[in-house]
Structure 1
Amino acid sequence: MNLVRQFADIGRSDLETAGGKGANLGELTGADFLVPPGFVVITDAYRAFVRDSGIGPAIMAAAATDTDDPSRLQAAAETIAGLFAGPVPEAMAAEILAAYHRLGEDARVAVRSSATAEDLADASFAGQQDTYLNIRGDAELLDAVRRCWASLWTARAIAYRARQGIAPDQVSLAVVVQLMIESEASGVMFTANPTNGRRDQAVIAAAWGLGEAIVSGAVNTDDLVVDGTGRVIERHTADKAVQTRYVGHGTAERPVPEHRRRLAVLDDGAAAELAALGRRVSDHYGTPQDIEWARRDGEFFIVQARPITALPEETGEVPTSWEVPRANSWYFRASIVEQLPDPLTPLFGDLINGAVSRSLTGIFAELLGKEALPPGAMTFPMINGYAYYAYEISAFGRVLTALPSAMKAITGRAGFVERWRDDAHPAYQRIVADWTARDLARLSSADLYDGVAELLEAGATYYTVVQTIIPPAASSETALTSFYDRAVRRAGDPPASTLLLGYDSLPILAEKSLYDLAAWAAERPELKEWLLNDQATHEPADADQFRSRFHDHLARFGHTTYNLDFAQPVPADDPDPVLDTLRFFLTGQGTDPHRRQAEAAARRDRLVRELSDRLDPVRRSVFRRLVAQAQRFAPIREDALADVGLAWPRLRQLLGELGRRLVRDGVIDEADQVFWLRDAELKDWLSGVVLGSRTDEIAKRKAVWRGQRLATPPQMLPDNGWARLFARWMPAVSGNETGPVLRGIGASAGSVTATARVLGGPADFGQLEPGDVLVASITTPAWTSLFAKASAVVTDIGGPLSHSSIVAREYGIPAVLGTGSATRRIRSGEQITVDGDAGQVTLIEQADSATPAAAERRRSLVPVIAGVAAAVGVGALLFRRLRRRKADRR
């Protein structure tokens, strides 16, 4: 019948004949790896048994059960198992037993299921079918073969295949029969590290005795990590109380002798030998492998190998040292850095350094002369990939002399607004419009690069001017809050921030625009159904009109950035997160922003009147003046900041076109890899240098970036007394706190206990469920749509005037900002309490097992002096210059 194949006669191409497990064991045997001998009862034997016994239709009928109903699944599996109770046909049995006898008289064998849909690169199906160990004798073997066939239809296997989209009639099963060895030790090895994706690290689990219990998790294991040189870089030696041994015609757990319980199963030399064996297997297959191994008499045997599925992208080392490039400088993470929470991608990092440095140096030169800030005195370098403002200490001292003028500037705030509104914003719009009007296809590659440089420069210049609005906005709100709390507020009165709510700003206008579009779509049942079903149904008549309206929305608001690094998409070129919020509104969830704003405005105006009426004339006069000043600035900061990304859609289009040309020249494989090139490489390519493929180098850079992203960058460097002195003005705490309480700035009042949802960017927005706590590094205006779903907000970076703070108040949800490490300390799905009054977040699971310190330190709501010297100094100088201009005009 030819229904049995020896391992030596099978290779990786025999998946349909030998199943995944059998094909891999044959491949390893043929490549001269040490594999215990055995054979495969091929899939034709399974098909013949099903056909000849007539059970095929009954199997298909039972397997068609509802996979979401566990009881029906189990009943179906039991029904199918009964169908395989018949005897193996005589001729088939004879062929199987002949192969078995060649392994030795009454040999101990493992009988393993080997399905045609298992041990694949994209789905391992590990544990979905059955394995039988220490099988001895003809009758036991044939019974184990039948039970393996039946295990193709266990409840877990049926459900697993349904989730993978594999139809019941597409699978078959071979059976592997393999000689068992009396192993002294065994285990599992991943030839790439599954926790960080590192391909140069092997992870080994080892225990005494047989390996099956290791796979099932029944015994403790020693755990080791071995690097590419064979060095053991991590080791945990377990207390191995039990081991799996042969017992009669099966296996059982037996105590480990006391003297071996805490003894390492593998010394460093054996671990290095095993890791080297794993590398050879991986090299043979060309992909990282999940290997089951056994050791006997000092030799390593491979019992099984399969590709590692769901291996994460490779992640480099997490930085622990934060050495500064220059000892004579101070380094700050503030101002524009608040919009750059992650390590910078290489091209953006190279280009933004010069753009930011020139924008600040240029303003200082304009206001105080060319010698005010000498070339190189202020830079924007990266440390471990993170952006920092760097000031030479002597230059920083000069800038700080502007602080007294900044404090006097309270009465002259209009100058800052005028400069932004009348000069900086129109100039930025003109540059963006000029480059948007140009035909990309007609531009040379050098022109495309020039456009990127000019638009980024324009964005940095605009941002510098926007930051000059921060000090007056901060001081006006701080002055109002201080006066209100000391001279106006009584018990039961709301916080001062209530007096600043209910105004329009670009983020609020964007939310209202999206809400209105959802309301329009909700009135058209077919369109609503089409949108809620992710446009999978027949396109309704209103689809084109919806697209036009949605395009108009993106044209007005799609330039807002999630992160200023231009490698990150904006809504204009990745509208999926915006569509998700529109669908949320379509379901009738969320509040009407028009009504919410009107109620906030009415409450604000009523409160101002009531408070004014109860004050004496002197306090009333001061109160009204402070309210008017603070209310004037309430929406301006958000309006100005929301337009920082005006150039970003066109920037990304220019870079996308450059990327496509680089793909054409073989420099990169995908256009988006352009963001991971260095500026020097791009310039070399533009000058005609043949670069060759940079794909491997880009993969290394991405791995380094992922490792850097797991670090918590210090807010100021070097970490000394000066850093601690300036800490209260920084937009985040150190991030090094431990324990169940995270401290930050209480930026919006209230307390909520709910499920945390940690979002790294727009790709994660769909994970946020209504009522979740939004946890992020920062939130920019592009995140506003999420606030409709969130019950509270927690960020790593941010202060009382950050976007998160202002919008959280508008929505009436608690916010704790500037925790430094929320995204690293909080896990998605865990319960947390956000206390916006105390400025702290409690990790409930940790709090249950630990008592926080009695004295809670609360950070003061001091004005965030953006960029420290940058914003305050520049703001003061601008005020001084504007005052001179007004005097000259008189």
Structure 2
Amino acid sequence: MMAETPLVLPLSTCSANGLAEVGGKAANLGELVRAGFAVPDGFVVTTAGYDLAVAGTDLAQLVEAGDAAGIARLFDTVALPPELTDAIAGAYRDLDEPAVAVRSSATAEDLPDASFAGQQDTYLNVTGTDALLASIRRCWASLWGERAVAYRAQHHTGAAPRIAVVVQRLVPADVAGVMFTANPGNGRRDQTVITAAWGLGEAVVGGQVEPDEYVVTAGTDVRQRIAGKSVRAVLTDGGSTTEATPADLVDRATLTTEQARELAALGARVEQHFGRPQDVEWALVGERFALLQARPITALPEPTGDRPTEWPMPRDKAMYFRASIIEQLPDPLTPLFADLVRPAVPAGLKALMAELGPNLGELDIDFVTINGYAFYDYSNAALNKMWGMTPHALRLLSRKNFVLDRWRDRALPAYRDVVAPWSSRPPSELSGAELLQGARELLEAGCRYYTNVQMVIPMAATTELSWAALYDGVLRGSSDAQASDFLLGFDSAPIVAEKALYELAVWCRDVPGLPEALERVGAPLPHDAPEGVADADWGRFRARFAAHLDAHGHTLYNLDFANPVPADEPTPVLEAVRHAIAGRAADPAERQRRMTQRRSMLTGELMDRLDPVRRRMARASLSAAQRWAPIREDALAAIGLGWPTMRALLGELGARLVAAGGIESVADVYWLTEAEAETDAAALDDGGAVRDHRASIDERRMIWRGQALATPPQYLPVAGWITWMDSMMPAHTGEQTGPTLKGTGGSGGIVTAPARVLAGAEDFAAFQPGEILVASITTPAYTPLFALAAGVVTDIGGVLSHGSIVAREYGIPAVLGTGVATKRIATGDVITVDGSAGVVHLGGEPEAAAPAGKAVPTWAWVTGAAAATAGVVALIARRRQS
């Protein structure tokens, strides 16, 4: 093998095909040379040279023992074979023995999956054969340095790599730096990022100087930031050093705008040659650029647009709110959903308003997006009308069972009547226009239903707030029980779903081979039985699992239909079954039994010690609160009834557009506008061609990712009288800097544990028992995770939101409505959730945490006709302790 591979090769002969002989750095440089780029002359001492040098030594034993000092001594003293020294000396003479740069080129270095940048050594301004041989020895030794060994272990590279060494003519750079042909910060492929400093590039690579930065967009637009470059790297006898930068150069730009464009164009050619974004080291000598090395950029994020900082209002004399249905829309909207939902929400709201008050059916209301985020848009005149109809609406709402009967007997059946015919029609048999129309009608029905749910929520909130105020102000006495303890243990749709899933898991435990098989298979479940499971048993499991999804698989994570529901992406449900089978989740029926028993005991004790007058007050108030709390959860859980069918219809349209070449993947259909979808649906029906939307979809996704980094204001304009609504909004207003996040205490207690930030259902499988659940919102679909969580933190929500209610059922601390939790907290961060005080301490346990379970909440609530009907004006103020 060693005889077949030359000990030394010119760089011009190196390529990716010889990676095992010349290493990553030399392979990439050889590719550049062969492609005609300006690269300093040089050669490479191949891995065969390294193998020859260490043959017969005790290197393997020293490496196994971790003897770094012994390894260094070995490479300093080992006698190099004459044929190796002769080959190196001959190649050096062919260069005319100039000053050279000596760099390692390991076989696991500068690769697409791991760059290994900086893990081996570089030596500059090496002159003379003896100095060159010494530098090559040190490069070999650096393969076994602590940094390199640790890096390989972290990246699980397996067998130890071999190493080659690159020797190049030294470039006495006037300016040097690093260029990324795609922006590593935001992943944008149309942006080249250049860093530059005076002198050699080592000061930039080593982080010894703050360099100038140039961002070149689309090859022409140049944005620059000129740094104070206090030091520069320069050559010395036999090496390099840093020195103070001359005063007249400290604040001077290292590159002109034209030079930045020229370098970016050079980088674009390098990227095109390698077929992927590159990290390039470069030098400027006089007026010419030279390339010193190139490696693939690893871990490049998805392209992300700029984060919005301004929130322009579409029109004057209007107010904008993020509440009501928008609590279920925490992210920027996808284009198709934004277009379809815009008329649907006002239509449902106006229909209800027309019923509740005269002359309200034509209110000037809109549902707009600002920087991609949904906002209710109410003209000032519309708000005045709504406030003016308060007395009439209150009389209507006070009728016995008006809200309950309207939801149970009218709104819910009407919604089901729209869903049923569309769900019974196979999407494959519908035209493109029908697929889009079905999605439109289902979304409109869902929004009409949600408007009616917004009557249920204030009723449930009012009864619970009234009970809490009565209990804390008049009834509590010396009891340690909280007002919420009297409302726990009842069945609701999420709890029923959880118990049904747990019963399925219990059944699975006794089926031979099934628990082990479920750890191996994924969703969707395979039709054929896994190995070790009887066909009949597997058929029964599939049937029961499907029945569960039919009954409960419509629960939503997010109203935007681009987000899957359990019915069409059941992985989170399957993961919940696995946890329950393994005993990592508590029995929900047993938990409910204990809570019901405690509630009954507390209620009996309370009634026994009250006088007749207070007992009548307590029974009436408690009965109302206990009645409405489960109804609220049932109403919310049904919102997604139309979503599985809606997604199936749009999925069919997406599949047809993929086949026609209009989009890349089925899910891309959500990134079309309504007009684009209509045009393409008509083209499909007529047998015509569809437009190629791939470039515009990539652009929209990039913009969306930038928008998702922002924290939208809860209302606009953020000035004047409207600021009194701060405490009523479902999320904290402002960015919240510092070590503590303020929110609303939804469930008492204190816990310190690692956080798990969930962007959506795709993250559920990673959730581990004992972690703190951090999410934008929690909806009924999140309920199975509460059985595993140590605590809950959300961006959006309040003391009466789903997250608070379910957290109290599970007895775990919860802080909701922080506004920025998902942006300030990262998975793995150890945080402390103080549900009693409504704060989250970042970085672990605070020095002095508030005692758990003793705080008495101060309830404030606002009721009015608009509060009971309009949703956005239907705001229940929540406790905010700071």
TM-score normalized by the length of structure 1? 0.87
Is 1:221 aligned with 2:210? yes
- Does residue 613 in structure 1 map to residue 612 in structure 2? no
Q: Is the 8 A contact 1:24 1:305 kept in 2?
A: yes
Asked if structure 2 preserves the Cα contact closer than 8 Å seen for 1:88 and 1:142, the reply is no
Aligned partners of 2:654 and 2:667 also within 8 Å:
yes
Aligned-partner Cα distance in 2 for 1:199–1:43 = 35
Deviates more, 1:641-650 or 1:199-208: 199-208
CA contact (8 A) 1:801 1:864 kept: no
Q: Deviations over 1:189-246 (max 9, x none)?
A: 22222121123333334445433454344x23225242326666463625645x5554
- 1:659/1:45 Cα in 2 relative to 1: closer, same or farther (>3 Å)? farther
The reply on whether 1:389 has 2:376 as its aligned counterpart is yes
The amino acid of 1:351's aligned partner reads: L
Q: 1:326 to 1:407 in 2, by over 3 A?
A: same
Measured after TM superposition, the shift of residue 825 of structure 1 is: 2.8
Question: 1-side partners of 2:874 and 2:705: how far apart?
Answer: 36
Q: Where does structure 2 lack aligned partners over 5 or more consecutive residues?
A: 849-854, 876-882
Does residue 38 of the first structure (1) align with residue 42 of the second (2)? Answer: yes
Distance 1:505 1:225, change over 3 A: farther
Q: TM-score, normalised by structure 2?
A: 0.88
User: Which digits, 9 at most, give the CA deviation of each residue in 1:38-88, with x for residues without a partner?
Assistant: 1234456567778xx478xx99x879xxxxxxx958369977995997655
What is the RMSD of the two structures over their aligned residues, measured on CA atoms? 3.6
1:590-605 superposed matches below 5 A: 590-605=585-600
After the TM superposition, which residues 278-317 of structure 1 pair with which residues of structure 2 at under 5 Å, given as runs? 278-297=267-286, 299-317=288-306
1:646 to 641, 654, 658: 641
Matched with 1:201 is 191
Structure 1's 334 and 868: CA in aligned 2 closer, same or farther, altered over 3 A?
farther
Correspondence for 2:126 among 135, 153, 161:
135
Contact 1:797 1:818 in 2 (8 A): yes
- Match for 1:825: what amino acid? R
Query: C-alpha distance in 2, partners of 1:73/1:80?
Result: 14
Are the aligned partners of 1:805 and 1:817 in contact in 2 as well (CA < 8 Å)? yes
Partners of 2:106 and 2:641 lie apart in 1 by 55
Contact in 1 for aligned 2:863/2:874 (Cα 8 Å):
no
Matched residue SS, 2:299: coil
Alignment-derived partner of residue 98 in structure 1: 90
Residue in 2 that maps onto 1:884: none
Aligned to 2:879: none
Cα deviation per residue 1:652-682 (whole Å; 9 max; x = unaligned)?
1211111111011110011111111111011
TM-superposition CA deviations, 1:309-358 (whole Å, max 9, x none): 11101111111111111213222111110000000001111111122122
Equivalent runs, 1:718-733 vs 2, <5 Å? 718-733=717-732
Give the direction of change, closer, same or farther, for the CA distance of 1:302–1:54 in structure 2 (3 Å limit).
same
- Seen in structure 2, the aligned counterparts of structure 1 residues 628 and 329 have a Cα distance that, compared at 3 Å, is same
**Following TM superposition, by how much is the alpha carbon of 1:482 offset from its aligned partner in structure 2, in angstroms?**
1.4
* Cα pair 2:798 2:816 within 8 Å, conserved: yes
Aligned mates of 2:737, 2:106 — CA distance in 1: 48
Change in Cα spacing, 1:313 to 1:245, as seen in structure 2 (3 Å) is: same
Aligned residue in 1 for 2:488 = 501
SS of match in other structure, 1:266: coil
- Inter-CA distance 73–647: structure 2 relative to 1 (3 Å threshold): farther
Give the letter for the 2:110 counterpart. D
User: Following superposition of structure 1 onto structure 2, how do residues 497-576 of structure 1 map, counting pairs within 5 Å?
Assistant: 497-524=484-511, 526-532=513-519, 538-541=531-534, 542-576=537-571
- Name the structure 1 match of 2:166: 176
Structure 1 14/801 Cα, relative in aligned 2: closer, same or farther at 3 Å?
same
Aligned to 1:437: 424
Correspondence for 2:437 among 435, 441, 450: 450
The one-letter code matched in structure 1 to 2:177 is G
Q: How far does the alpha carbon of each residue in 1:405-440 deviate from its partner, in whole angstroms, 9 at most, with x for none?
A: 454566535222222222222332333232222222
Answer whether contact 1:470 1:871 (CA < 8 A) is retained.
no
Task: Show the counterpart of 1:403.
Answer: 390
Counterpart pick for 1:363 among 336, 352, 355? 352
Residue 334 of structure 1 contacts residue 868 of structure 1 at CA under 8 Å; is this kept in 2? Answer: no
Instruction: Return the offset for 1:555.
Output: 2.2
Seen in structure 2, the aligned counterparts of structure 1 residues 837 and 225 have a Cα distance that, compared at 3 Å, is: farther
Query: How far off is 1:696 after superposition?
Result: 0.9
Q: CA deviation at 1:638?
A: 0.7
Letter aligned with residue 557 of structure 1: H
1:501 Cα deviation from its structure 2 partner: 0.7
Alignment identity in percent?
Answer: 49
Deviations 1:611-658 (A, max 9, x none): 122122111111100111111001111111111111212211211111
Q: Distance in 2 between matches of 1:595 and 1:722?
A: 49
Q: Hey, what does 1:881 align to over in structure 2?
A: none
In the alignment, the residues of structure 1 paired with residue 869 and residue 701 of structure 2 have an alpha-carbon distance, to the nearest angstrom, of 31
* Code of the aligned partner of 2:39: V
How far apart are the structure 2 equivalents of 1:41 and 1:337?
A: 64
| Aligned residue runs from structure 1 range 243-254, under 5 A | 243-251=232-240, 253-254=241-242
* Deviation by residue 1:112-171 (Cα, 9 ceiling, x = unmatched): 3334443233332334444444433334434554665566566765675676665539x6
Which amino acid letter does the alignment assign opposite residue 287 of structure 1?
Answer: R
Aligned 8 A contact 2:71 2:141 in 1 = no
Q: How does 1:469-868 map to 2 (within 5 A)?
A: 469-524=456-511, 526-532=513-519, 538-541=531-534, 542-688=537-683, 690-844=689-843, 861-862=860-861, 868=867
- What is the DSSP-based 3-state SS (H/G/I as helix, E as strand, rest coil) of the residue aligned with 1:692? coil
Paired amino acid for 2:483: A
Secondary structure of 1:580's counterpart equals: helix
Q: Which shows bigger deviation, 745-754 or 261-270?
A: 261-270
Question: For residues 204 and 807 of structure 2, what CA distance do their matches in structure 1 show?
Answer: 49
Query: CA separation in 1, counterparts of 2:863 and 2:256?
Result: 53
Q: CA contact under 8 A between 2:325 and 2:871: conserved in structure 1? A: no
Secondary structure of residue in 2 paired with 1:634: helix
The CA deviation at 1:15 is 4.2
- Residue 463 of structure 1 aligns with an amino acid whose one-letter code is Y
Distance 2:531 2:68 in 1: 36
- Deviations 1:346-371 (Å, cap 9, x if unpaired)? 111111112212222233345557x5
Does the 8 Å contact 1:196/1:315 carry over to 2?
Answer: yes
User: For residues 15 and 286 of structure 1, what CA distance do their matches in structure 2 show?
Assistant: 17
Worse-matched range after superposition: 458-467 or 92-101 = 92-101
Distance 1:661 1:299 in 2: 52
Q: Does 2:449 correspond to 1:462?
A: yes
Code of the residue aligned with 1:708 in structure 2: it is Q
Is 1:123 the counterpart of 2:111 in the alignment?
no
> 2:490 is paired with a residue of what secondary structure?
coil
Alignment correspondent of 1:68: none
What are the superposed Cα offsets for residues 13-49 of structure 1, whole Å, 9 maximum, x if unpaired? Answer: 6545543322321232344433222123445656777
Residues 845 and 271 from structure 1, CA distance in 2 versus in 1: closer, same or farther, beyond 3 angstroms? farther
Correspondence for 1:374 = 362
Q: What is the CA deviation profile of residues 272-310 of structure 1, one whole-angstrom value per residue up to 9, with x for unaligned ones?
A: 554454344334444322111233445432211112111
CA distance in structure 1 between the partners assigned to 2:500 and 2:864 by the alignment: 33
Q: Which amino acid aligns with 1:404?
A: P
Per the TM alignment, residue 184 of structure 1 is displaced from its structure 2 partner at its CA by: 4.1
Q: In 2 relative to 1, CA 33–469 (structure 1 residues): closer, same or farther, beyond 3 Å? A: same
Alignment CA distance shift 1:874-1:152 (3 Å): closer
Structure 2 distance, partners of 1:517, 1:238, is 66
Indicate conservation of the 8 Å contact 1:373/1:395, yes or no. Answer: no
Give 1:793's aligned amino acid.
Answer: V
Does residue 181 of structure 2 align to residue 188 of structure 1? no
